[in-house]
Structure 1
Amino acid sequence: MAKLKLGLQLGYWGALCPGENHTLLAQEAENLGYDSVWTAESWGNDCFTPLAWIGAQTSSIRLGTSVAQLSARTPTACAMATLALDALSGGRMVLGLGVSGPQVVEGWYGQPYSKPVTRTREYVSIVRQVLARNAPVTNDGEFYPLPYNGPGSWGMGKPLKPITHPLRADVPIFIGAEGPKNVTQTAEIADGWLPLYYSPYRQEVYADQIAGAREGFEICPTVMVNINDDLEAALYPVKAMLGFYIGGMGSAKRNFHKELMARMGFPDEAEQIQSLFFQGKRDEAIAAVPDAFADEISLCGPRDRVREKIQDWENSPVTSLLVNGDEDFLRDLAELVL
């Protein structure tokens, strides 16, 4: 079984630009042998610009978007950004895509959140057409018709192919998927999967959905790591994250993170967390997160315990752990994993 790789997950920015901190972390990760560095977007910074900045100041580490939101740009615009960044970095780009959720898609991008699985398939098909550059790009799908001949059209559009010859036709495409149908499709059409939560102790949750994956398919979950002799203290940041995502990252009617927690064996607890969160009882929502669930999807506790748990991840289909921390943390984890 292949040894686990490590990726640096920088995520999206908070209230302030992180300045050179992210670049320095990426450089340290590259020096330590990390395989990849990832940037994200929500409703603040975009994910391509920071990645280009980091790519200009590194030389070998892979550059991934985790994730580029489909509604933020058309598929051809996304393919153009991918084409450019892959060429400038010497073939280091990994395009991570995701549909986001209805609150962001409809509230921030002003687009309907409908048929996300179908939309994703169309999107990926168009991106691959652009990068392959075999013929002018066309699409007769429901969401991204090319050329466009709908309402308001001048009737003058014609199929085009990129002026610039892509450095690689096979830039890896990963998808951040949670729902069963989306994960199944990801295994079919993508080169990798970016799970938000994964438990090496419950491989059966996704076993059937990833069974049809192509050879070399990568699975790269973001995993919180906290080395601390006090296990309860080590797990608290994980529970705080879960309390926020399961309680508040979605509406009361539809929260994909809550639904995932239920499928992973904790339906009653997921319901309780959301209920407490919407009542404004955030501390109680965090406390309601089961230690067992937080522990399964993370690497927490004393150093020897973390070392033992890494073996469980190595015995799973996971290929890379995407982690975040300061330079001392990156060095410490490299010693344990690499």
Structure 2
Amino acid sequence: MRLGINVGYWQRDPEDATETVLAAERLGYDHVYTAEAYGSDAFTTLTWYAARTSRIKLGTAVAQMSARTPAATAMHALTLDALSGGRVTLGIGASGPQVVEGWYGVPFARPLERTREYVRILRDVWRRAEPVTSAGPHYPLPLPSSAYAPGRVTGLGKPLKSIVHPVRPDIPVYLGAEGPKNIALAAEIADGWLPLFVDPAKIETVFGASLAGRRAGFDIAATVTTIVTDDLAAALEFAKLPLAFYIGGMGARDRNFHLDLIARLGYAEEAARVQELFLAGRRDEAIRAVPDELADSISLLGPIGRIRERLQVWRDSPVTTLLIAGVKDEPTLKAIRDLVQP
């Protein structure tokens, strides 16, 4: 099992994770991943860490598709990949309608179609076999005059090929996915899957059919909140915070993919209650309403001996990479490395 870290969103000083990233590199961790929502972006912080490291691989978990056209994302990835010596893994995701339409101001419809088209264009840009074209319908290249009202498109667009030769024409693409169809798409077209909240003991029963078509070498890189402490109760409370936020606040009342995921894991009634409390402004109650069993099952919590025992569930699962989230100090990163890769 490979081992990485996920430093998540950058929010403000002093949240510079450089020391953590450098420690992870010294300890032989495979990857550092960054994230974005509707504040900081994933690529700037990743470039910051790239400039300070030499070996650790650099991933986005995830860069939001609606934030950039496929060509723009391909340019970000190929530039950083070249500057870092071929270390980039591009994780992308469709996000949800609240963010896509409320923050980026573009339509959310048909996310599976959009993802397939997006990935195809990324790879065409990197391969440079010929000028990039796409019949659409979501990202047509060149842009046809019929795409907008008369007079808004010049009709002068022409197929272009990147003026930069990528270091690698096959930069790995991972998909952040939660629903069965989106996970099946990842297994079909991507190099890996980036699950956010996943119970390793339930991957086969809940998502086995979706993953059945994955190719050899397909990476399942799961982000795992990790808290090493003798106070298990405090660790559980901390692990519930992101669950309550995503179940309650990262999605519309009637369309929340995170809530749907938790329901698939067997906590439909509990998730509905968390959302109800969160949307009513009763956030402390929403956090307490997250079941202990749920928070524990998707995390690594407690004394180091307990984490050692819990790791067996992850080893027995289809997960191939653990992305440790929440650990900042080198001694704890070392202790976890020694457990995962003795």
TM class by smaller structure: over 0.9
Residue 310 of structure 1: aligned partner = 311
Residue 89 of structure 2: aligned partner = 94
- Measured in 1, the distance between the counterparts of 2:102 and 2:333 equals 36
Q: CA RMSD in A?
A: 1.2
- Measured in 2, the distance between the counterparts of 1:198 and 1:247 equals 17
Q: Which amino acid aligns with 2:185?
A: Q
Question: Is the Cα–Cα contact under 8 Å of residues 94 and 115 in structure 2 kept in the other structure?
Answer: yes
Residue 63 of structure 1: aligned partner = 58
> In the TM superposition, what is the alpha-carbon distance from 1:239 to its structure 2 partner?
1.4
SS of 1:10's equivalent in the other structure is strand
Q: Which amino acid aligns with 1:44?
A: G
> In the TM superposition, what is the alpha-carbon distance from 1:229 to its structure 2 partner?
2.5
Q: Is 1:249 matched up with 2:250?
A: yes
Question: Is the Cα–Cα contact under 8 Å of residues 82 and 167 in structure 2 kept in the other structure?
Answer: yes
SS of 2:308's equivalent in the other structure is helix
- Measured in 2, the distance between the counterparts of 1:160 and 1:295 equals 50
Counting only pairs closer than 5 Å after superposition, residues 1-338 of structure 1 correspond to structure 2 as 4-14=1-11, 16-18=12-14, 21-149=16-144, 150-151=147-148, 152-203=152-203, 204-324=205-325, 325-327=327-329, 328-338=331-341
Number of residue-to-residue matches in the alignment: 333
- The structure-2 alpha-carbon separation of the partners of 1:18 and 1:189, relative to structure 1 and needing over 3 Å to count, comes to farther
Question: Is the Cα–Cα contact under 8 Å of residues 31 and 59 in structure 2 kept in the other structure?
Answer: yes
SS of 2:260's equivalent in the other structure is helix
In structure 2, stretches of 5+ residues that fail to align are none
- Measured in 2, the distance between the counterparts of 1:27 and 1:302 equals 25
> In the TM superposition, what is the alpha-carbon distance from 1:92 to its structure 2 partner?
0.3
SS of 2:198's equivalent in the other structure is coil
Q: How high is the TM-score relative to the length of structure 1?
A: 0.96
- Measured in 1, the distance between the counterparts of 2:13 and 2:207 equals 36
Q: How high is the TM-score relative to the length of structure 2?
A: 0.95
> In the TM superposition, what is the alpha-carbon distance from 1:8 to its structure 2 partner?
1.3
In structure 1, stretches of 5+ residues that fail to align are none
Question: Is the Cα–Cα contact under 8 Å of residues 225 and 239 in structure 2 kept in the other structure?
Answer: yes
Deviations 1:240-279 (A, max 9, x none): 2211111111111111111100011111111111111122
> In the TM superposition, what is the alpha-carbon distance from 1:292 to its structure 2 partner?
1.1
> In the TM superposition, what is the alpha-carbon distance from 1:335 to its structure 2 partner?
2.2
Q: Which amino acid aligns with 1:89?
A: S
> In the TM superposition, what is the alpha-carbon distance from 1:25 to its structure 2 partner?
1.3
Q: Which amino acid aligns with 1:195?
A: P
Q: Which amino acid aligns with 2:328?
A: D
> In the TM superposition, what is the alpha-carbon distance from 1:18 to its structure 2 partner?
3.8
Deviations 1:204-234 (A, max 9, x none): 1111111101110001111011122332222
Deviates more, 1:81-90 or 1:222-231: 222-231
> In the TM superposition, what is the alpha-carbon distance from 1:285 to its structure 2 partner?
1.2
Question: Is the Cα–Cα contact under 8 Å of residues 100 and 108 in structure 2 kept in the other structure?
Answer: yes
SS of 2:211's equivalent in the other structure is coil
SS of 2:107's equivalent in the other structure is coil
Deviates more, 1:323-332 or 1:4-13: 323-332
Deviations 1:111-153 (A, max 9, x none): 1111111111110000000011111111102110001113222
- Measured in 2, the distance between the counterparts of 1:11 and 1:18 equals 14
- Measured in 2, the distance between the counterparts of 1:42 and 1:261 equals 20
Deviations 1:265-311 (A, max 9, x none): 11111111111112222121111111111111011122211101111
- Measured in 1, the distance between the counterparts of 2:120 and 2:23 equals 35
- Measured in 2, the distance between the counterparts of 1:13 and 1:157 equals 37
The share of aligned pairs that are identical, in percent, is: 55
Deviates more, 1:180-189 or 1:224-233: 224-233
